Chain A
Amino acid sequence: MGGPMICAEGLGMRFDLGIEKGFSLKQGFVDLLDPARRGRGRRSEFWALRDVAFRVDSGEVVGLVGGNGAGKSTLLKLVAGVYKPSGGQLRVCGSVCPMIELGAGFDPELTARENIFLNGAVMGYSRDFLLERFDEIVAFSGLRDFLEVPVKNFSSGMTARLAFSVATVVEPEILIVDEILAVGDLAFQAKSEEKMVSMIRGGTTVLYVSHSLESIRKLCGRALWLDHGRLRLSGPSAEVCEAYRAAQSGEAEL
C-alpha cells in the first residue's frame, strides 16, 4: 500500500434541473409579465453528490454500493474527469482507465479494425501501444474473421466483445469499473469475468461499482455506501455490504 491515489474532501456535484428547460421565448414573456415569478422555479438544483469524503490508497480495491440514483456513476465520472466537481476537492493521481460505458466513440460506419484504433485513441492509448497490442485485442475478442466488417453490421454482443477487448488491454494505475463484468455469450462472459478479476487483482487501484454484493465482498477490501448522494458508511466490505443489505431488506419489507 502506497500513498493516496484518489483523495476527496467535501466533494459535491450539482446538477441544475432548471437548465433542461433553459431560456425560451415563452418563458421569457411569462417572466416579463409577472415579475414576481421571475427566477422562481428556475432554480431547481439537484445534488447528485454532497459532502463526500474518502480516500483510496495505491493498490486498494474499493467497492461502491447504493441504490439507483445514489450517485455511484456520478462519482466514477468525477474520478474519470468527465465531470468537474461543483464543490469540494478531488485529487486523482495516476492514469485512469474508465470502464464506465464501453465502446465510447465507436463509429458504426467504420470496420472493426478501424474502430479498434479510434476507440483506443479515445481511451488515450498511444499509437505504438495499440500496434503492439493489436493482436492481443483481436485474439481476446475472437473476432478475427470480422476485422474488415463495419461495426454497424455487428450484433450487439459482438460490439460489446470488441469494446471490452479494447478497454481491458491496458494496465492503468487506476481502474474504474461500472458493472460490465459480463458481456457477450456464455463463453465470453466467463472469459471477460476472469479477465476483470485478474485486472482487479493485478495490484492496480480499483474503484468498482456493482449491485452484486457477492462480487463486492469477494473482490474488494473496502467498500463505500452511497445513499442519495451522501456517504452513509465506509469500512471493510463485508461490514458495509451487511449494513446495506439490512437496509435494503428493511425497505423492501416496508
Chain B
Amino acid sequence: MRLLRQIRLSLDKYRFLIRQLVSRDFKVKYKRSALGVLWSLLYPVLTMSVMAVVFSHVFRAEIPGVSYPVYLLTGITFFNYFSEATNLSMSSILANFSLLNKVYVPKYVFPLTKCLFVGINFLLTLLPLYAVILLTGTGLNWAHLLLPYAFVCLFAFTLGMSFLLAAAAVFVRDMLYIYGVALTLWMYLTPLFWDLSMLGDPLYERLLRLNPLCQYISFARQIIFTGRAPGALSFAACALSAGLTLWLGAAVFRRKQDEFVYYM
C-alpha cells in the first residue's frame, strides 16, 4: 500500500516531465517531414496493406469464417506496439546517460515515456484497423467496449518487459542484438498470420497459448469476430500475465537502478 502511494506521488511529481519527454519524442520524430503526424496513420496503413496483399494473395492464407485482413491487422497492430515500444525502451536508459549523469531524474520515466509515446501511435493505428473492420463487412458490436481491457493488459505487459530489457541492456549490451533475434522468433510464434488450430497438435497449441501477446490478441479477435465477450478465464489469464510481468519488471528495475551509473 505504501509502495502504491509512493508510486502515485512520484508520478504526480514527474507528470510534467513525462509529458515533456513524450511531446519531445513526437516533435523530434516528425520534424522536417512534410506529412508530419499523418505518418503515424499512413505508415501502419501502408505496411499493413503490403502484408495483407502478400499473405492473402501470394500465400493465399485464409482463416475459415473470418475476414483475413482484419484477422491479420489485429495481430499486427498489437504486436507492432509491443515490438516498437520494447525496442525503444530497451535503449532508453543508455541513450539518456548524459542526462542521468548530470541531474537526478527518476530512471523509470524513460521506459515509461517510450511506452506512452508508442501507445499514442498505437491508438492512431486503431483508426485504419477500424476502417478495415468496417470496409470488409466484419462490422461493429457492443463487445468492442471490452477492447480497452486488452489494450491495458498489452500496455502493462509491454511496460514490464521494457523495464526488464532496459535494465538488462545497461549491464549486458549484447541484449540489444539478442533481443532483436528473439523478437523475430517471437513474432513467428505468435499467431499473427496463421491460426493456432492450423498446428493440428493440441500440445503445441496449449504451449503457444501461454504467450501473453497471443492471449491479448485472441481476446481482441474473439470480440471482433464473434461479438461475444471472452470468457472469465481469458480475462483472468490476461490480467495475470500482464500484472505479473509488470510487477517483475518494476521490481528488477527498482533493485538495479542505482547500479546503472557504474555501467554506462
Chain A positions within 8 Å of B, measured between CB atoms, are 15-16, 19, 22-23, 77, 80-84, 96, 98, 100-101, 104-105, 107, 109-110, 114, 117-118, 121-127
Contacts and interface: CB of A to CB of B under 8 A. Distances in A.
A110 B100 contact: no
B20 A117 contact: yes
B16 A104 contact: no
A80 B101 CA distance: 10
Given A84-B258, A109-B31, A122-B17, A114 B24 contact: yes
Given A110-B24, A118-B20, A118-B21, 17 more contacts: A22-B263, A23-B172, A81-B104, A82-B104, A96-B104, A100-B102, A100-B103, A104-B98, A104-B102, A105-B99, A105-B103, A110-B28, A121-B20, A121-B21, A122-B17, A122-B20, A127-B16
B16 A121 contact: yes
Contacts of B17: 121-122, 124
Contacts, number: 63
B105 interface: yes
Interface of B: 16-17, 19-21, 24, 27-28, 31, 98-105, 172, 258, 261-263
B104 A98 contact: yes
15 contacts: A16-B262, A22-B263, A84-B258, A98-B104, A100-B103, A105-B105, A110-B27, A114-B24, A118-B20, A118-B21, A121-B17, A121-B20, A121-B21, A122-B103, A124-B104
Contacts of B172: 23
Looking at A15, A104, A114, which has the most chain B CB atoms within 10 Å of its CB? A104
Per DSSP, chain B at the interface is: helix
Given A117-B20, A121-B20, A104 B27 contact: no
A19 B262 contact: yes
A74 B96 CA distance: 19
Nearest to B31: A109
Contact of A19 (B101, B103, B258, B263): B263
B9 to A, nearest CB: 14
